[in-house]
Structure 1
Amino acid sequence: MRKLTVDVRPGEYVIARLDPAVPVPSPLLDPGAAFVSVTRTERELSVVCSAAAAPEGVVAESGWRLLTVRGPLEFTLTGIMAALAGELAAAGVSLFAVSTYDTDHLLVKDADLSRAVTALRSAGHDVHEG
């Protein structure tokens, strides 16, 4: 596996579940917002966003930290997420993964952040804490 550069983004993030029939809350569509990921299926609307932007009154899991692989990553690259997930799993760190056009993002619980950073660095990756 090649050496990756991973940035630990500041702040707390939440992963929320909304009813699939509701529109995406407008504050999440603000181009000035921090990292936001919205995925709709026939059964749910899942949102990953900063804790400050989290919709109120929804099912949400808080206390996540965001790690972003510096990209862009070529679509032909293989094993990026598998390698990172494997390294974190070996360290006992669970994750929530999100991929975008340019790169991959991992969310880990704040309580596991130190172990995650140590595991990624031990595997030879360059991790920058912001």
Structure 2
Amino acid sequence: MKIKKIYQDFSVCQVEDYSLVNLDSEYSFIGKTDEEKSLVCITSEVPSNVIRRDDGWKAFCIQGVLDFSLIGILAKVIAVLADNDISIFAVSTYNTDYVLIKSENYQKGLDVLKSIGHEIVD
């Protein structure tokens, strides 16, 4: 499997609403429940109406379009990282999965994935 590095710094946030979110950004992930409105975005694009934020995340995606019939792709990646004491924050789009790792563990995470046969691509 190919793991594609993303060269941006990310923040995980809670926001009051989505009115100030840059939906034209290269990366913007929103999630809403009855209790909160969440946003994962490029750190330099965190909106001013943020309630809470956690900076210092780096990301990669599983390259290629993942068919819905595929089972366990993200689970396998997460399990390997967890076995190496690397916590993650995952988001998914229709096509693929994105994994965020705190900056201080990012290279270690990539190295672990490479050591078990995943190809790391730019």
TMscore range, shorter length: over 0.9
Deviation at 1:27, TM superposition (A): 4.0
Which AA in structure 2 matches 1:11? Q
- Equivalence for 1:58: 51
Q: Hey, what's the Cα distance between the residues in 2 that align with 1:124 and 1:113? A: 17
Which AA in structure 2 matches 1:36? S
Q: Within 5 A, what are the aligned runs for 1:1-130?
A: 4-19=1-16, 22=17, 24-30=18-24, 33-56=25-48, 57-128=50-121, 130=122
Q: TM-score, normalised by structure 1?
A: 0.88
Could you tell me whether the CA contact under 8 Å between 2:20 and 2:47 is conserved in 1?
A: no
Q: Hey, what's the Cα distance between the residues in 1 that align with 2:21 and 2:82? A: 34
Q: Mean Cα displacement is larger for which, 42-51 or 57-66?
A: 57-66
What root-mean-square deviation, in Å, do the aligned CA atoms of Structure 1 and Structure 2 show? 1.2
**Which structure: greater strand fraction?**
2
- Could you tell me the percent identity over the aligned residues? 28
Q: TM-score, normalised by structure 2?
A: 0.93
Which AA in structure 2 matches 1:10? Y
Which consecutive segments of 4 or more residues in structure 1 shift more than 6 A? none
Q: Hey, what's the Cα distance between the residues in 2 that align with 1:27 and 1:41? A: 17
5+ long unaligned stretches in structure 1: none
